[in-house]
Chains A and B, each alone.
Chain A
Amino acid sequence: RKEVEQDPGPFNVPEGATVAFNCTYSNSASQSFFWYRQDCRKEPKLLMSVYSSGNEDGRFTAQLNRASQYISLLIRDSKLSDSATYLCVVNIGTGRRALTFGSGTRLQVQP
């Protein structure tokens, strides 16, 4: 089983749509959670951290369910510029401070 699993998509949605991605992680001791965005042939860029209480940043809302070990990202009012691959990222702790990446979910927002 992969440490971090995501639906690869692609998710094809029209502009203005609301889209949600889920991610599951296998290590219950995981400590930190993030969503990164990666554009084609570019490095990942931090979109937002994910907190237990849930957090929102503009059109983006992230939630964490520790009991079920899943993380979600909701994007409202999708823009063309939101087209990218969204990476679910987990710090699995155990003394390691590197990040474990999911394989990403591709989003294509269409006009």
Chain B
Amino acid sequence: GAVVSQHPSWVICKSGTSVKIECRSLDFQATTMFWYRQFPKQSLMLMATSNEGSKATYEQGVEKDKFLINHASLTLSTLTVTSAHPEDSSFYICSAREWGLAGATDTQYFGPGTRLTVL
């Protein structure tokens, strides 16, 4: 299957700093990538849809000025958590969509996730 990488795999930072997380599709082009967040013992929650060459679409309740998304190429999307606070500590996972054949169900591949801890 297709491979999606994320970097870093984990990060610990001080409150008030910014953290950038990269999501790359390694062997396919992804016009759309998705960013999810998962708190302990909860389900993945979609934060935003990242579209190559255009602005991201944010889900209700997600602050676009706090979670900056850039999708400058077909293989890379970045999520920057600005002025991070302890409540932003979570598991952030990206996924990239690979188009299948016409009429087939498209498939999303997940990156390994980034565990963010804000002190």
Contacts and interface: CB of A to CB of B under 8 A. Distances in A.
Interface of A: 4, 32, 41-46, 49, 87, 96-104
B93 A102 contact: no
Contacts, number: 42
Contacts of A42: 112-113
Interface string B21-35: 000000000001010
B46 A100 contact: yes
Contacts of B36: 101
Nearest to A103: B43
B114 to A, nearest CB: 10
A98 B108 CA distance: 8
B106 A41 contact: no
28 contacts: A4-B43, A32-B105, A41-B91, A41-B115, A42-B112, A43-B93, A43-B111, A43-B112, A43-B113, A44-B93, A44-B110, A45-B110, A46-B1, A46-B107, A46-B109, A49-B105, A97-B32, A97-B106, A98-B46, A98-B49, A100-B46, A101-B36, A101-B43, A101-B44, A101-B45, A102-B43, A103-B42, A104-B43
A42 B111 CA distance: 9
Question: Interface size class for chain B?
Answer: 20 to 34
Q: Which 7 A-B pairs have the closest CB atoms?
A: A103-B43, A43-B110, A101-B43, A101-B44, A43-B113, A98-B34, A98-B46
